[in-house]
Amino acid sequence: MKKPTALILSLWALSPTGAKPNILFIAVDDLRPELGCYGGKQVQSPHIDKLAARGTTFHRAYCQVAVCGASRASLMTGLRPTWKRFLKYDTFAEKDAPDAMTLPGELRKNGYHCLSNGKIFHHKNDTATRSWSEDPWKPDMGGASFIDPKSKSMIGGRKKRGPVLEGPQVPDNAYPDGQIADKTIADLKRMKKQGKPFFIACGFIKPHLPFYAPKKYWDLYDPADLELADNRTLPRHAPSSLKGSGEVHNYHDRGMKYNSDEWHRACLHGYYACVSYVDAQVGRLMKTLDQLKLSKDTIVILWGDHGWHLGEHNFWGKHNVMHLSTRSPLIVSAPGFKPGQTCDRLVEFVDVYPTLMELAGLKTANDGLQGTSFKPLLEKPGLAWKKAAFSKYGPAVSLVTNRYNYAEFKNGEKMLFDLNSDPDENVNLSTSPKQKENLKRLGRILKDGWRGVLPPTAKR
């Protein structure tokens, strides 16, 4: 009886009506798994938590490059980075992979109406003609979208991007993310009337720097209650090649002493306010799906393009291969699958393209995909799965296993953390004689690459 039951479940997953399911694809910039559904104790994220209760939350999801443009290009093309492809924040998929089919492009060829709102690719018009059914839409970002005249006066000079934070008393749609939600809601209503299967990509810009959000989201938190990172030093035996992001230095500190407790607390407050602001926009989208009676026919996927440091190791940002930079949220709610599931198996963002194609009941014509559909994990979250996830950034290539985070740098340096005994990555074990054989083993896995760690059921 098990096989017929699984077959019925898989067929129903397409849509209760048997039609192609709609897809609402929510991308959140710089969102690490600092959410209630991931065990976050300080941040308030009730709407994303509610989405998680409707779907499957992946606790071990990893980006392939810990920087916006490259990570997005990798996911949307289903291709992994190389030393010549998908390297930086300003990556153009059009230039790095000119012949690659994109996820929305293939869905469009299969009858989907594909829309892009907000930040999906780093550049609004990247692969536009072969990806989208309409011109991509993005709100005006003039003046970096600051509202306070004092903030605007800080743009220019050495700290040319303006202040690191802002929180005026304004409505949600005074800032771009509220406008992106408005546009996506309008498109959901339009697509409902049109009756054609849709793929709507909605890309929120926060909690990316600078930290601006309406005052009501700042008011959710008392900064005095916020717990700062207790490991604001480099890991012991850290390789000289390990660096943090310098992005925060582009912003004005608003009179605070950089790296002081006051500064750390203010930035943490800002990050959380921005997460709660975006969370509210996600809630608006989910409410609209329910009101339009589209929820039972729509796959909803929410992901953060990479992780982020919130002061740990004295880093603010991404831009390395530490666990906090490569691990990111991934939540999938699809018709026909059990709600409220969690999955601890290793998945990668390069897997999203083939997964959504399979969930849509479509056979991809793209034989160059370098990811693996994780649809089986939606059916059985505890299924035996891939043994490692791969990432790279700058001079480093890395892999994460169930237990270790291992990296090799171009200059020969190595980095090894035992995530079981040292989840905060405070001690680099690569110089320990006790790890000699383990380093050889992990080095072989890294050299053999992603094809050597595929799930037992995957094609190699």
Catalytic residues: 68, 122
Triad 408, 426, 89: Cα angle to 5°: 50
Place of tokens 């660096």: 243
Cα 400 from Cα 403, distance rounded (Å): 7
3 state SS of 297: helix
- Rounded Cα gap, residues 54 and 282, in angstroms: 14
The three-class DSSP label of residue 150 is helix
- How far is CA 146 from each of CA 31, 170, 212, 294, rounded to the nearest angstrom? 21, 12, 8, 35
Of 410, 387, 454, nearest in space to 321 by CA:
410
Residue 282: partners with Cβ closer than 8 Å, 6 or more residues away? 26, 47, 48, 51, 204, 302
Please give the structure tokens belonging to residue 192: 């409902």
Are the C-beta atoms of residues 298 and 21 closer than 8 Å to each other? yes
Rounded to whole angstroms, the Cα distance separating 267 from 265 reads 5
Residue identified by tokens 């039972």 is 296
Cβ contact 63:349 at 8 Å: yes
Rounded Cα distance between 86 and 229, Å, is: 31
Nearest CA among 320, 304, 321, 228 for reference residue 267 = 228
User: Hey, how many other C-beta atoms are within 10 angstroms of the C-beta on 182?
Assistant: 16
Q: Which pair of tokens denotes residue 46?
A: 């009730």
Q: Which H or E run contains 152?
A: helix 149-153
DSSP 8-state assignment for residue 280: H
Torsion, CA 315, CA 318, CA 323, CA 328, rounded to 10: 130
Residue 428, helix vs strand vs coil: coil
